[in-house]
């Protein structure tokens, strides 16, 4: 088959044949370059897609972490409120204990006084 492709070149001068050969070599070289560039382009597109997927995954993870952070902040606020309530309740109970301790001391003194009176 290559002989049929080459038939049209018959009868051409050496100089023209040389120029045709140079042009064919240049075409082959350009085809190879084009294939290499196409391969590089495809590789870069694949890398770009990979990076886009990575960015999307990072965005999703960031969103999840933000929601989790918000949830933890709300939990901390609720715990702080509960702590304040418990602290307030403790102060109230300590105050009641102090009042009752004072009443107990007063009652003891009254009992001692009454016992002294009884002894007399």
- 15-19, 25-29, 47-51, 94-98: lowest mean pLDDT where? 15-19
Q: Which residues have a Cβ under 8 Å from the Cβ of 12 and sit 6 or more positions away?
A: 20
**Tokens standing for residue 43:** 């590789």
Q: How far apart are CA 108 and CA 45, in angstroms?
A: 92
Per-domain residue ranges of the chain: 12-119
- List the structure tokens of 12: 């051409």
- State the Cα–Cα distance between residues 15 and 56, nearest whole angstrom: 60
pLDDT at 23: 96
How does the average pLDDT of the chain come out, rounded?
94
pLDDT digits (tens, 9 = 90+) for 55-95: 999 999 999 999 999 999 999 999 999 999 999 999 999 99
What average pLDDT does the segment 84-111 reach? 97
Task: State how far Cα 72 lies from the chain centre.
Answer: 16
């Amino acid at each position: 088959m290559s002989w049929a492709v080459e038939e049209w070149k018959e009868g051409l001068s050496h100089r023209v044949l040389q120029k045709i050969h140079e042009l064919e070599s240049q075409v082959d070289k350009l085809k190879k370059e084009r294939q290499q560039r196409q391969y590089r382009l495809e590789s870069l597109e694949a890398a770009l897609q990979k990076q886009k997927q990575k960015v999307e995954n990072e965005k999703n993870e960031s969103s999840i972490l933000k929601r989790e952070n918000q949830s933890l902040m709300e939990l901390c606020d609720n715990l702080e409120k509960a702590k304040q309530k418990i602290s307030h309740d403790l102060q109230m109970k300590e105050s009641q204990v102090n009042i009752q301790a004072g009443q107990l001391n007063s009652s003891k003194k009254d009992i001692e006084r009454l016992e002294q009176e009884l002894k007399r």
